[in-house]
Amino acid sequence: METEIPVRDIMTRPVITADADLDVLSAAKRMGSANVGSLIIVSRDKTTGILTERDLVRKVIAQGVDPRNLKVREIMSSPVTAIEPDASIRDAANLMLRAGVKRLPVILKGKLMGIITDTDLVSGCSVGLNDILSDLLEMHRENIHFEQPRGTVSGICEVCGQLSDNLENVNGELLCWSCRDGNR
């Protein structure tokens, strides 16, 4: 029988936070100096949003907006999908999959306790790892298959299951170089 590992056992703490009135350039610098991919946005000790690298790329860089003249509140994602610390990592993986997010603030009675990411799920557990990996791979696989890929893409080889930066579409399947060589 599988033991359920609680989120609290693998969550990261302390969480790097910011105020919604911080300018986006300062927020990006904070993310860079802390080597994190997101900031949890708090106001009066209440979690109000999350700022991710994806928000910066899509809403600032791709739009050509000056990050010095933009406040975090204008581009943060809100409301935040969160989880409680006693929830299992299986529950966290399922919630991430359903919500299409890669980061979950861990909140207990309105208080920010930590954060868990898809990477934490993979690196922090061994029990039930295959099921969790399967769910995460499925989440990322859906992102790859919106269009028929042309050229090379990154993802999971559909034959051997290995992560590759050089997948190519062969007869409707995304294959790594090793599987392509064996199937041509």
Q: Among the residues of 51-128, which ranges form H helices?
A: 53-56, 72-75, 89-99, 118-123
Amino acid at 8: R
What is the rounded distance in angstroms from the CA atom of residue 22 to the CA atom of residue 51? Answer: 11
Task: Give the tokens for residue 48.
Answer: 């109000």
DSSP states of 38-70: EEEEEETTEEEEEEEHHHHIIIIITTT--GGG-
Task: Give the tokens for residue 14.
Answer: 């302390």
Span between the terminal Cα atoms of the chain, in Å: 42
Q: Is 125 annotated as a binding residue?
A: no
| Phi, then psi, of 35 in degrees rounded to 5 | 55, 50
Annotated binding site for Fe cation: 157, 160, 176, 179
Going by the annotation, the residues of the binding site are: 157, 160, 176, 179
Binding-site residues for Zn(2+), please? 157, 160, 176, 179
